[in-house]
Structures are given as C-alpha cells and as structure tokens.
Amino acid sequence: MATATTTTLSFFTTPTTSRRTNLPKTNPTFFNPITSISSNTLTFSSSPKSTFSSIPKSSENEADVAVIDVEPTSELTQIAETTEEETRKPEQIFAVVMIGSRQYIIFPGRFLTTQRLKGANVGDKIILNKVLLVGTKTTTYIGQPIVTNAVVHAVVEDVGLNPKVIVYKYKKRKHYRRNIGHRQPNTRIRITGITGYQDFPAVTLDSLKQSA
C-alpha cells in the first residue's frame, strides 16, 4: 500500500525534515495596482497596457491667476471711478427759514416736520422764501431781515397728526370734569436744495476782523 506524502510551501530559511521535499526558494509576488508615480502624472493599471488620464500640473493654473491679478480689466477701473464719484460729498450748507411763526434750521436732504401747510398735498413741490440766514463752510449770509432772492426748495412727503395731547379741566365743588384729547395736524417735508443766496453780500471772517 503506497503512503501519501504531503508537501508544504515555506518562506522561512529553516531546514525542513527529511520527509518533506525541498522545493526551490521563490520570492512571493503581490499585485501592485500603482505602477508609477511622478510629479506630473499618476497612472493606475491592472496590466502593463491599461492606463487612463493623468492629473494636470498646478503651475498652469497658477499662471492664469497671475495674469488676472497683473492685468485688471477695464470694467474694474470703471467701477472704481464710479465709487469715487459717489463718495464725494456735496457742499455743506444750512439755512434758517421761517414757516408760520416759527424758525427752523434746515439742511439739504433732511426731513422737517412743521405745522400744517395750507393747500399742500403729498408729492407737491413747495418753495419757502422767508430765509433769514444762509451759512456755508467759509461764508455766511445774514438777512436784513431776510436774504433777498434766497429760496428753499422742498417736497411734501406726508400729511398727518401729532401724538395726542390730553386736555383735562377740573373745578372743585362744582361737579365739573372735562377730559379732551387733541392731535395737532402737521406736514412732513424733505429739503431738496437752497438757491439764490449767492448775490447777497456775504460776511466772512476777514471782514469781521477788519470791522473789529
């Protein structure tokens, strides 16, 4: 009866027993999907023939960005010019105007709430001609009593009522009690400009020093 012999594959260098057959030493091989890596391309392959596209260099994109930074387009320069024009502030000017029996200090572009202006509706353009004083950053125009030819242009924004005021009347030992509420009508206007004061004689700091 023939005896069965078993064969084992060993990667160790230790000698085997006499019963085992000595096979030639072979180095184990493993499949490596990454065949080559370089600074420019990265190639994967399951066989020497199969490859696909590589990753492009980063230096090419950096060159494009550098061109954009160095050479700005004309649109960017136009935007910069428009922003500079918008930041320029108009001439600083104010005026003292009389409306009814009250005097107000007004500035172009601001709102003013006054007593009810007769016949003025929302959206109407009005002119205030009782200008008592006009002042700029360098000169002052003082009226006598008004600045001739100076006018203030305004637009009516709203017509409403002031907050309610309670009027309470009381008389002792007469059983007299009165509780009345009142809301004064008003007009809200927006100042658009001050014109016509340039021909009036101005008062400057130099003229005041000479008169003193």
Please identify which residue in the block is written with the tokens 């502030």. Answer: 89
Q: Is the domain of 155 the same as that of 203?
A: yes
pLDDT of residue 82: 55
Q: Is the domain of 113 the same as that of 158?
A: yes
Angle at alpha carbon of residue 149, lines to 146 and 150, rounded to 5°: 70
Helix, strand or coil for residue 78? helix
Q: Is the domain of 53 the same as that of 147?
A: no
Does the predicted TM-score (pTM) go above 0.75?
no
Domain contains 63: yes
User: Along the 212 residues of the chain, how does pLDDT read in single tens digits?
Assistant: 445 554 444 444 555 444 555 555 555 555 454 444 444 444 444 444 444 444 455 444 343 333 334 444 455 455 555 555 555 566 689 999 999 999 999 999 999 999 999 999 999 999 999 999 999 988 899 999 999 999 999 999 999 999 999 999 999 999 999 999 999 999 999 999 999 999 999 887 777 777 76
Lookup: tokens for 192: 């658009």
Lookup: tokens for 63: 């060159």
Q: Is the domain of 146 the same as that of 65?
A: no
Q: Is the domain of 139 the same as that of 119?
A: yes
Residue 13 CA: distances (Å) to CA of 19, 29, 55, 161: 17, 17, 44, 108
Q: Is the domain of 75 the same as that of 118?
A: no
pLDDT of residue 19: 53
Task: Spell out a b/e string for 168-195, using b for 16 or more CB atoms within 10 Å of the CB, else e.
Answer: eeeeeeeeeeeeeeeeeeebebebeebe
Domain contains 43: yes
Q: Is the domain of 134 the same as that of 61?
A: no
pLDDT of residue 138: 84
Lookup: tokens for 150: 């100076």
pLDDT of residue 27: 56
pLDDT of residue 111: 96
First-to-final CA distance of the chain: 146
Q: How many domains does the chain have?
A: 2
Domain contains 6: no
Give the domain extent around 78.
Answer: 34-86
